[in-house]
């Protein structure tokens, strides 16, 4: 299916850079990829976002709204071949891809290469693409870009610090001979000393004892090494040595363009528009949320969310709820899977809600996170350290309670706590989600209470943490403003990938 606007716009952009975005469907990848496309389009580029109908459905409201404001952003959707990929029909229709279908989903995505290529060569998709920007988890886009004869940039909504740690751990074979997944190892090749375990940083798709995943991990690594450059949702001033370090380690240009969520914040103050950036219907009315926040003292509210994938187990829900209640601070607590809980847990939540009426707001489903974080009443964020959430906290000038669940979140925690000095950890040291062997790890109510009190409370240490967070937010704003590093990088991308720009120059080192 091709958007009607595509044909209308074709031909009028002969000299524009045309970026083809191939995002991953998971919200933590999709939201920042779409935001990046919107930012590039707002600087004059044409952007086509390609994907299956289930992805397009999530993106469509945002793309429609960008088109209405005059941006050249298109959405092209391609049906998945369920039969050929082995993906059960409709397995991609839910909130996220179930882990047991992940492999066939990636296979189904790879099968889209040919139809996407045919579409992009057609006249109605003009101007001809000048660059493919693909999520690093779509290694098949190497071939897509090669067949189209254009460069390919890897897109990461991750911090350079985490990427460099992963890269060095792999490059220096840090896990060779380390049997115990919880044995501490110093990340090699960095000036500062950071200690991690294999359980915390096994490498992307590494450590899954199934041959197809090991091959996939190698395929991804090859594709990352062969990319013509990298676009990262971070900003240089926050982690200059790691941005430079990653560019040097990969010997490729890195364009830092973050925080990309500023696309929405600089364009609208309308609650409903900001809320819809979450690409989902919110479980709470955005205006009602604002009214509730308006009634709280500045900096008093703690926002609690574990992102779009992680879910707290019932025992953890009880401990977290009681810890928040005992902290005495007003809170907004997002429970993504509230509907799945047993009766006892639902009853606990109902009773808690009654006890904290007026000072505790439970959101059962999707929350307008960006909107909440940018409200003056919010003073701290209990986060699972997903990179987007971490960066959104940074951009909002908020200190964080760090509670990593899986993948890069442990390294993001290190950045927040050890590098930036804006975080207090609840002390989780092993993955809570996607464990090879299911373990029950529950953070106790006292730990939650203490961590919330130290981030939200008075005292010199807390004040110092807040000062650092505010200073970082000012740097984030400056990076996104005209003349700032991220703004300049966006302009550079749009210029370098114009038709006819020298390809060699486009991908040479900084
Ligand atoms: N998000 C949101 N509302 C929610 C949960 C998540 O708007 O209720 C957004 C959040 O602002 C962030 C993204 O979804 O942009 C989650 O990405 P992140 O990297 O933080 O975590 P992930 O979901 O990938 O674990």
Closest ligand 1 atom to 336 CA: 8
Among residues of the chain, what percentage have pLDDT more than 70? 92
pTM of the model: 0.94
In the block, tokens 């909504």 appear at 157
CA-only gyration radius of the chain, Å: 22
pLDDT score recorded for residue 420: 98
Q: Which of 56-60, 236-240, 293-297 has the lowest mean pLDDT?
A: 56-60
Report residue 131 as tokens.
């660059």
> Ligand 1 centroid vs 389 CA: distance in angstroms?
6
C-alpha span between 153 and 145 (Å, rounded): 9
Residue 450 in tokens: 């203490």
pLDDT bucket at 207, cuts 50 / 70 / 90: confident
Mean pLDDT to the nearest integer, 189-193: 97
Q: Model confidence at 243, in pLDDT bands (50, 70, 90)?
A: very high
Span 78-107, mean pLDDT? 91
119 vs 349: CA distance, rounded Å: 50
Residue 2 pLDDT: 40
Structure tokens at 383: 């986060």
Bridging pattern class, strands 230-232 and 378-383: unpaired
Q: Which of 308, 372, 410 to mutate to test the pocket of ligand 1 (most atoms within 8 A of CB)?
A: 308
* Ligand 1 centroid, distance to 396 Cα (angstroms): 15
Place of tokens 């190497």: 142
Q: Could you tell me the sign of the dihedral formed by the alpha carbons of 332, 338, 341, 346, in that order?
A: positive
Query: Percentage of the chain surpassing pLDDT 90?
Result: 74
* Contact residues of ligand 1, CB 6 A cut-off: 26-28, 31, 278, 305, 307-310, 334, 366-367, 369-370, 386-389, 392
User: What is the residue-wise DSSP string for 276-344?
Assistant: HTTSS--SS-HHHHHHHHHTS-TT-EEEEE-TTT----HHHHHHHHHHHHHH---EEEEETTGGGS-HH
**Residue 495: pLDDT above 60?**
yes
Residue 239's Cβ-side half-sphere holds a number of Cα atoms within 13 Å equal to 33
Task: Give the closest residue to 138 by CA, choosing from 227, 10, 15.
Answer: 227
Residue nearest to atom 11 of ligand 1 (CA): 369
pLDDT of the residue at 7: 42
Q: Across 398-493, where does the E strand assignment appear? A: 400-402, 423-425
Q: Residue 505 pLDDT more than 50?
A: no
Q: How far apart are CA 137 and CA 25, in angstroms?
A: 10
pLDDT digits (tens, 9 = 90+) for 413-436: 999 999 999 999 999 998 887 666
Closest residue CA from atom 17 of ligand 1: 28
Other Cβ atoms within 10 Å of 439 Cβ, number? 9
| Least confident window among 147-161, 277-291, 353-367 | 277-291
User: pLDDT confidence of 22, banded at 50, 70, 90?
Assistant: very high
Distance 178 CA to ligand 1 centre (A): 33
Q: Do 26 and 51 touch, CB atoms closer than 8 A?
A: no
From the CA of 383, give the closest atom in ligand 1: 20
Residue 222's alpha-carbon distances to 135, 141, 154, 216, 227, in angstroms, are 14, 12, 12, 10, 9
Taking the centre of ligand 1 as the mean of its atom positions, its distance from the CA of residue 32, in whole angstroms, is 10
Residue whose tokens read 């490059």: 171
- To test ligand 1's pocket by mutation, which of 30, 271, 386, 387 has the most ligand atoms within 8 angstroms of CB? 386
Confidence of residue 508 (pLDDT cuts 50, 70, 90): very low
Cβ neighbours, 10 Å, residue 464:
13
Q: Which ligand 1 atom minimizes the distance to the CA of 278?
A: 7
Q: Provide the 10 A C-beta neighbour count for residue 376.
A: 13
Q: Give the model's pLDDT for residue 188.
A: 97
Residue having the nearest C-alpha atom to atom 21 of ligand 1: 386
- Residue 131's nearest CA partner among 497, 432, 503, 487 is 497
If one residue of 25, 27, 232, 383 were mutated to test the ligand 1 pocket, choosing by the most ligand atoms within 8 A of its CB, it would be 27
Q: How high is the mean pLDDT of the chain?
A: 91
Of 31-35, 309-313, 430-434, 492-496, the one with minimum mean pLDDT is 430-434
> Per the omega criterion (within 30 degrees of 0), is the bond before 286 cis?
no
In the reported structure, the alpha carbon of residue 1 is separated from the centroid of ligand 1 by a whole-number distance in angstroms of 28
Per-residue pLDDT band for 387 (boundaries 50, 70, 90) equals: very high
Least confident of 98-102, 180-184, 221-225, 272-276: 272-276
Q: Per the structure block, which two tokens stand in for 158?
A: 């991750």
pLDDT average, residue stretch 399-426: 97
Give the integer Cα–Cα distance in Å for 456 and 365. Answer: 25
Lowest mean pLDDT among 271-285, 338-352, 433-447: 271-285
Q: Tell me which residue has its CA closest to atom 6 in ligand 1.
A: 307
Residues 347-365: what's their mean pLDDT? 96
3-state secondary structure 55-110: HHHHHHHHHHHHHHCCCCEEEEECCCCHHHHCCCCCCCCCCCCCHHHHHHHHHHHH
Whole-number Å distance between alpha carbons of 190 and 284: 44
Q: Look at residue 500 in the predicted model and tell me its pLDDT.
A: 81
- Mutational test site, ligand 1, from 369, 378, 402, max ligand atoms within 8 Å of CB: 369
> For residue 275, what pLDDT is reported?
60
> Whose CA is closest to 233, among 258, 252, 263, 261?
258
What does the pLDDT average to over 361-378? 93
Instruction: Provide the ipTM.
Output: 0.99
CA of 187 to the centre of ligand 1 (A): 28
pLDDT of 437: 63
**Residue 366 CA, closest ligand 1 atom number:** 8
Nearest-angstrom CA–CA distance, 384 and 20: 31
CA atoms of 480 and 257, how far apart (whole Å): 8
Mean pLDDT within 299-325: 95
């Amino acid at each position: 299916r091709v958007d009607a606007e595509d044909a209308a716009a074709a031909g009028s952009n002969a000299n524009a850079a045309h970026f083809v975005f191939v995002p991953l469907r998971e919200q933590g990848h999709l939201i920042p990829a779409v935001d990046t496309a919107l930012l590039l389009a707002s600087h004059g580029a044409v952007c086509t976002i390609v994907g299956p109908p289930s992805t397009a459905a999530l993106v469509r409201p945002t793309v429609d709204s960008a088109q209405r404001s005059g941006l050249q952003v298109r959405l092209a959707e391609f049906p998945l071949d369920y039969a050929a990929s082995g993906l059960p029909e409709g397995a991609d229709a839910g909130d996220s891809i179930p882990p047991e279908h992940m492999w066939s989903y990636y296979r189904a995505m790879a099968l889209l290469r040919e139809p996407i290529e045919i579409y992009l060569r057609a006249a109605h998709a003009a101007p001809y693409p000048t660059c493919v920007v693909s999520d690093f988890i779509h290694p098949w886009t190497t071939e897509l870009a090669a067949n189209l004869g254009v460069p390919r940039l890897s897109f990461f909504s991750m911090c350079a610090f985490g990427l460099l740690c992963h890269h060095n751990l792999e490059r220096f074979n840090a896990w060779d001979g380390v049997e115990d997944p919880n044995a501490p190892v110093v990340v090699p090749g960095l000036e500062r000393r950071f200690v991690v375990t294999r359980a915390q940083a096994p490498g992307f798709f590494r450590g899954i004892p199934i041959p197809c995943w090991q091959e996939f991990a190698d395929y991804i690594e090859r594709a990352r090494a062969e990319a013509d450059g990298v676009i990262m949702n971070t900003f240089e001033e926050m982690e200059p040595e790691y941005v430079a370090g990653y560019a040097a380690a990969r010997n490729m240009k890195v364009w830092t363009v973050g925080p990309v969520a500023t696309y929405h914040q600089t364009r609208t103050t309308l609650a409903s528009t900001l809320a819809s950036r979450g690409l989902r219907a919110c479980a709470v009315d955005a205006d009602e949320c604002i009214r509730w926040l308006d009634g709280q003292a500045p900096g008093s509210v703690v926002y609690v969310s574990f992102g779009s994938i992680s879910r707290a187990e019932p025992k953890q829900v009880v401990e977290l709820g009681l810890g928040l209640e005992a902290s005495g601070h007003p809170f907004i607590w997002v429970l993504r899977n509230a509907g799945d809980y047993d009766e006892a847990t639902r009853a606990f939540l109902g009773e808690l809600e009654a006890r904290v009426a007026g000072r505790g707001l439970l959101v059962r489903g999707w929350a307008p996170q960006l909107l909440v974080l940018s409200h003056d009443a919010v003073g701290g964020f209990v986060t699972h350290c997903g990179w987007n959430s971490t960066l959104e906290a940074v951009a909002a000038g908020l200190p964080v309670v760090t509670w990593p669940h899986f993948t890069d979140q442990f390294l993001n925690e290190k950045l927040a706590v050890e590098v930036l000095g804006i975080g207090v950890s609840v002390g989780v040291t092993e993955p809570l989600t996607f464990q090879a062997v299911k373990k029950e790890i529950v953070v106790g109510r006292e730990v939650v209470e203490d961590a919330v009190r130290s981030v939200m409370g008075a005292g010199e240490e807390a004040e110092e943490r807040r000062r650092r967070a505010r200073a970082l937010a000012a740097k984030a704003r400056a990076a996104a403003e005209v003349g700032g590093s991220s703004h300049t990088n966006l302009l550079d991308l749009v210029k370098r990938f114009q038709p006819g720009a020298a390809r060699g120059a486009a991908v040479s080192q900084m």
